[in-house]
Amino acid sequence: MAENVTFRVGDAPARANRGVVPGLLGGIALLVSLAFQPRLVAAARAAVTPPPKRTMLARGIAAKNAGHYRRALADFRRSAAAGNSRGMVLLGWLYAHGHGVPVNYA
């Protein structure tokens, strides 16, 4: 004969009857809430996104105008490697005039 059993709130069998869906929904809600944390999103973007080409170029131009040719050379090299044509021209200008490097017409 079957016994007449009553479960109280919090008993293991009563929790087991809820199924898998509520647990999955709770996990998904947790992941979504973590994904939209502003600091975490900003840190992830900063780690993945390289500095824009224009920033490197502008920093190099400012260094060139101030007479810091080695710093300008490094920024123009990075800008040229990123495909910026103006960075390539300015890098050539540094080489042609011998600012920060020996003159090299090649």
Task: Indicate if the pLDDT at residue 16 is higher than 60.
Answer: no
d(CA 4, CA 36): 48
pLDDT digits (tens, 9 = 90+) for 35-53: 666 666 676 666 665 666 6
Per-residue confidence (pLDDT) for residue 71, from 0 to 100: 93
53-66 helix and 69-81 helix, angle to the nearest 10 degrees: 160
Find, among 52, 38, 43, the residue nearest to 82 by Cα: 52
Per-residue confidence (pLDDT) for residue 11, from 0 to 100: 55
Per-residue confidence (pLDDT) for residue 15, from 0 to 100: 52
d(CA 28, CA 41): 17
- Contacting residues for 33 by C-beta, under 8 A, at least 6 apart: none
pLDDT digits (tens, 9 = 90+) for 61-91: 999 999 999 999 999 999 999 888 999 999 9
Per-residue confidence (pLDDT) for residue 20, from 0 to 100: 62
Which DSSP string corresponds to 62-82? HHHHHT-HHHHHHHHHHHHHT
